[in-house]
Chain A
């Protein structure tokens, strides 16, 4: 029997998710170029316009790009629901998101309101379409497991992060009146903890046991973690707007503890994997979880010692660890699972029993994955060093970030090249 509610339509065409995945790495290169152009001044404070431009090239151009593309791809595969009109939806998300990320970077760098207005409309459209399409699919999911619960929490958090971001965009673009510092803190927390971390959590439930051959996450964790974190974020938001400083501090300490718990649980599971020689993406997961853990520890430290928490270098580290450490590492590793699988799967579907299909390892050799990791690690470490000693480390960090981004981009484009060549050879 086919389970009730399971759609019989096909998985989305390969270009639907791939356009996101092939675009994203070049935003890392763009971010690196911005660092090289601005020089050490970019690491003076997280609040500088150029630093905000850099941050949004990473979180919108790279992170949101891949995360939304992966959701559009994942929902049919993991949850069994189909996103309506996949090609049109993908275009209406990918194009405005890409242009909006660029416009927002230009807006911060130039300070011209019309660029903020352009970014506002563009990002509003892209995220609006993505949220609508993915929400519709997720609430129709035939199976409600831990992953669907976590994805729903992540999607709700994305909605909050986007609304707060649009409010801030209104402040810069049209001069709306709002408590900018509080809204910025909440925007970052909903974006990084609510949307990014909870999406990674929901995906990790599936892919860590699947690809790294580990035991599953504990059942209580799978059911309860994401809703608890979402509830803490709601409480924190209330306390922050209500001016209850002590309660807000305690809630953020609980959030930091929750994030650390996820990192520790995942590292523990990775240590229990059944294969001696780990999957080539194992190092990306480890680097990601270690960054998350250190980020959570520093965050707690800053809450306990407010004078430390207010240091510009400290604030920069608290941005680099979750963004370039946690999120970029895990996304980089996941891209190496998703893109070759997509190419392999679509080739199988198109050429089944007519032509030989390259294996996933032929589409993307393990060695390429392992080598790029060293470039990534160099970029992460020099970035962290640049936050503390910008004069010495900004240019090495820019170089390493550019290399790792371009290397990722070429590796993924290589899969696409083999895909096209295999199809051409089979259909002369």
Chain B
């Protein structure tokens, strides 16, 4: 009898666990965020309840928090854009426009005052006076000062782009504040806005918890178009229209459901079946699949941002000084030029990227700095072979791999032209195929590549944690990067200056050292647009001559959406929800 009971007890316990979990699961909904201060409106009760409009956005991961500056997963920025505003944001062309600000401060309107003598500047932000937090408290300069102080707090703060150039933020009156810069900083318009930053409520967030850890990052007080109603961890978030949103008549859609759907194939099918209205970050292969699907549209960003590029390590693998220990293969410019000639970027773009990748060969391909005359490289494997011969790389033993016979890089005679070719695994099949194709093409001209794929966290970690790039532990690799907005200065500094070649101080992983470039980039920290255009074109010429990086093509910034959802505009400078207040349902 006892044995029988034991067996059935196990089954009964399992059923019980299931039922209990089932019961408990109903209660796992995160505490519903109340909407404090929602002003009662005196409207006659309608005779019939109008049907609420709702859309569903499907994304791959649960947002870590609503603070996009901290984790920068993209999913946090998506929900941040639904609920919180910055001083200014970026449109699809990369132009800044005011959000909380009444107008954009410029030199012309007196909002920016430059002290040429000391090389500093003050930026005066005048804020709109009709924007309120969802509890009815006005959004004021106090919130701007509070946000700044939280960011720069030594113990609990968090670094954001450009913050090193800020000496302080001073409140002038309730709706005016001055940001004091210790340098001329061209990216000042998105200092407290743009892709990553918003203004946080001083009366609601707990400064002691810290910018990166405060509870208001999980239960935000909205001043944006939507208010968080419910967040069920790893499952969904529900947002309802903010009735106090400052733009009259907006937003028009009552409710937004953000569902966490990890699998891309399922997200695509939900869109096709009409169970989703927007699939964030649609990849090139899915865009191609959805091209002819009825009731689905794909919004492409008019301006591209992410550039797939090859990084040459100019220092010997495992070292970071290209002068003392030059790379035995890459340090010869003719080798880099030969590699450029041997890669058929056009075929890659059309085949593996389904025609959505656009060839680029200079950093200055985006307006307003796409004015430089840099010749497009030509795919010519025969010329590449000749260049390698000239550089002293000859295949004498006939095994298909060249060896050093008179090369000028310091490599020993007979040194094989073999290198490791690394990329990161998270991007997926398109990049994997591209990497394999490039390895094949370079193999045809006698350069043998061993393909390696690692996690991004291993590739980009600091030297202390064995980060491959920062430690210089690579020959050459391929991945993508680009800048948000229209100011490339910080981005260029990070990738091409000598200061950024110091391990852990920048992204100049190839250790490209050129005082000329250093000088040009330092000069580019100015608000004189004509001068900047000239400087950037000089840089373009030098970078094209030296080839420290090989820019190949841009990747698509696309978001697929249902045809009934109108107003969606992909924006490479922002996340797709940047203009959510303008969305309508057909």
- Are A and B associated in one complex? no
Identify the A interface with B (CB < 8 A).
none
Identify the B interface with A (CB < 8 A).
none
